[in-house]
Amino acid sequence: MGDSPVWAATPKNGIALINTANANRDGSGTLGTVYTAGSNGGVIDAIFLQSAGAVGVAITAGMLRLFIETGGVARLCKEVPVTAGTPSASVAGWSALLTPGNGLPPEGLRLAAGNILKASTQIAENFNVVAQAGDF
Protein backbone atom coordinates (compact mmCIF):
# COMPACT_ATOMS: atom_id res chain seq x y z
CA MET A 1 0.00 0.00 0.00
CA GLY A 2 1.16 3.53 -0.71
CA ASP A 3 1.71 6.26 1.82
CA SER A 4 -0.81 8.60 0.20
CA PRO A 5 -4.59 8.23 0.20
CA VAL A 6 -6.25 7.40 -3.10
CA TRP A 7 -9.06 9.73 -4.15
CA ALA A 8 -11.64 9.18 -6.83
CA ALA A 9 -10.38 10.79 -10.05
CA THR A 10 -13.71 11.03 -11.86
CA PRO A 11 -17.06 11.79 -10.19
CA LYS A 12 -19.60 9.31 -11.51
CA ASN A 13 -22.84 9.41 -9.60
CA GLY A 14 -25.48 6.81 -10.26
CA ILE A 15 -29.26 6.80 -9.92
CA ALA A 16 -31.99 4.23 -10.33
CA LEU A 17 -35.74 4.26 -9.91
CA ILE A 18 -36.76 0.91 -8.45
CA ASN A 19 -40.38 -0.17 -8.20
CA THR A 20 -40.66 -3.90 -8.88
CA ALA A 21 -41.47 -5.99 -5.81
CA ASN A 22 -38.63 -8.40 -5.03
CA ALA A 23 -38.54 -10.13 -1.66
CA ASN A 24 -35.45 -12.17 -2.56
CA ARG A 25 -32.31 -11.78 -0.48
CA ASP A 26 -30.17 -14.03 -2.68
CA GLY A 27 -29.58 -11.61 -5.58
CA SER A 28 -32.22 -13.11 -7.83
CA GLY A 29 -35.26 -11.34 -9.23
CA THR A 30 -35.48 -7.79 -10.55
CA LEU A 31 -32.64 -5.50 -9.42
CA GLY A 32 -32.06 -1.91 -10.53
CA THR A 33 -28.55 -0.88 -11.56
CA VAL A 34 -27.40 2.15 -9.55
CA TYR A 35 -23.66 2.50 -10.25
CA THR A 36 -20.99 0.57 -12.16
CA ALA A 37 -17.36 1.00 -11.08
CA GLY A 38 -14.88 1.96 -13.82
CA SER A 39 -11.88 0.05 -15.12
CA ASN A 40 -9.78 0.94 -12.03
CA GLY A 41 -12.59 0.43 -9.52
CA GLY A 42 -14.59 3.04 -7.66
CA VAL A 43 -15.84 4.28 -4.32
CA ILE A 44 -19.31 5.22 -3.09
CA ASP A 45 -19.24 8.00 -0.50
CA ALA A 46 -22.98 8.22 0.15
CA ILE A 47 -26.22 6.53 -0.85
CA PHE A 48 -29.46 8.50 -0.78
CA LEU A 49 -32.74 6.56 -0.63
CA GLN A 50 -35.98 8.44 -1.26
CA SER A 51 -39.59 7.36 -1.70
CA ALA A 52 -40.80 8.74 -5.02
CA GLY A 53 -44.52 8.02 -5.03
CA ALA A 54 -47.25 10.59 -5.43
CA VAL A 55 -48.26 12.98 -2.64
CA GLY A 56 -51.12 11.50 -0.64
CA VAL A 57 -50.27 7.90 -1.56
CA ALA A 58 -49.25 5.82 1.46
CA ILE A 59 -45.80 4.27 1.71
CA THR A 60 -45.93 0.70 2.98
CA ALA A 61 -43.47 -0.61 5.57
CA GLY A 62 -40.94 -2.85 3.86
CA MET A 63 -37.28 -3.14 2.98
CA LEU A 64 -34.86 -1.72 0.43
CA ARG A 65 -31.93 -3.97 -0.37
CA LEU A 66 -28.53 -3.11 -1.82
CA PHE A 67 -26.45 -5.70 -3.65
CA ILE A 68 -22.93 -5.83 -5.10
CA GLU A 69 -22.72 -7.71 -8.38
CA THR A 70 -19.41 -9.30 -9.32
CA GLY A 71 -19.03 -11.43 -12.42
CA GLY A 72 -22.80 -11.62 -12.94
CA VAL A 73 -23.51 -12.77 -9.36
CA ALA A 74 -25.30 -10.32 -7.01
CA ARG A 75 -24.80 -10.64 -3.25
CA LEU A 76 -26.74 -8.86 -0.53
CA CYS A 77 -24.72 -6.00 0.96
CA LYS A 78 -27.18 -3.93 3.04
CA GLU A 79 -30.84 -3.88 4.07
CA VAL A 80 -32.58 -0.61 4.94
CA PRO A 81 -36.02 -0.74 6.59
CA VAL A 82 -38.71 1.50 5.11
CA THR A 83 -41.23 2.91 7.57
CA ALA A 84 -44.85 3.47 6.63
CA GLY A 85 -46.22 6.95 6.12
CA THR A 86 -48.13 9.20 3.76
CA PRO A 87 -46.30 12.14 2.17
CA SER A 88 -48.24 15.37 1.95
CA ALA A 89 -47.67 19.11 1.58
CA SER A 90 -46.40 19.15 5.17
CA VAL A 91 -45.03 15.61 5.61
CA ALA A 92 -41.93 14.50 3.69
CA GLY A 93 -41.85 11.07 2.13
CA TRP A 94 -39.62 8.39 3.65
CA SER A 95 -35.89 8.80 3.05
CA ALA A 96 -32.57 7.51 4.35
CA LEU A 97 -28.93 8.52 3.93
CA LEU A 98 -26.06 6.04 4.18
CA THR A 99 -22.65 7.60 4.77
CA PRO A 100 -19.23 6.33 5.90
CA GLY A 101 -19.63 5.07 9.46
CA ASN A 102 -23.43 5.34 9.19
CA GLY A 103 -24.41 2.35 7.07
CA LEU A 104 -21.29 2.37 4.86
CA PRO A 105 -17.74 1.31 5.75
CA PRO A 106 -15.63 4.14 7.28
CA GLU A 107 -13.63 4.53 4.04
CA GLY A 108 -16.72 4.43 1.81
CA LEU A 109 -17.97 1.45 -0.15
CA ARG A 110 -15.10 0.49 -2.44
CA LEU A 111 -15.85 -1.54 -5.53
CA ALA A 112 -13.46 -3.48 -7.75
CA ALA A 113 -13.32 -2.79 -11.48
CA GLY A 114 -16.67 -3.49 -13.13
CA ASN A 115 -18.52 -4.27 -9.90
CA ILE A 116 -22.09 -2.98 -9.86
CA LEU A 117 -24.22 -1.54 -7.05
CA LYS A 118 -27.78 -2.81 -7.50
CA ALA A 119 -30.97 -2.24 -5.51
CA SER A 120 -34.41 -3.75 -4.97
CA THR A 121 -37.56 -2.99 -3.03
CA GLN A 122 -39.67 -5.42 -1.01
CA ILE A 123 -42.92 -3.65 -1.96
CA ALA A 124 -43.88 -2.49 -5.48
CA GLU A 125 -43.59 1.23 -4.74
CA ASN A 126 -41.35 3.91 -6.30
CA PHE A 127 -37.96 4.63 -4.72
CA ASN A 128 -34.99 6.59 -6.04
CA VAL A 129 -31.57 5.21 -5.13
CA VAL A 130 -28.74 7.69 -5.68
CA ALA A 131 -25.05 6.85 -5.24
CA GLN A 132 -22.58 9.69 -4.74
CA ALA A 133 -19.60 7.94 -6.25
CA GLY A 134 -16.42 8.21 -8.27
CA ASP A 135 -14.09 6.09 -10.34
CA PHE A 136 -10.39 5.66 -9.51
Q: Where are the domains of the chain?
A: 10-135
Contact 112, 135 (CB under 8 A): no
3-state secondary structure of 121: strand
Residue 11's pLDDT is what?
83
3-state secondary structure of 128: strand
State how far the Cα of 67 lies from the Cα of 122, in Å rounded to an integer.
13
CATH code of the domain made up of 10-135: 2.60.120
Tens digit of pLDDT at every position of the chain (136 positions):
455 556 667 788 999 999 999 999 999 999 999 999 999 999 999 999 999 989 989 999 999 999 999 999 999 999 999 999 999 999 999 999 999 999 999 999 999 999 999 999 999 999 999 999 999 9
To the question of pTM greater than 0.75 for the whole model, the response is yes
Contact 127, 31 (CB under 8 A): no
Residue type at 8 in one-letter notation: A
Neighbours of 27 (CB within 10 A): 19
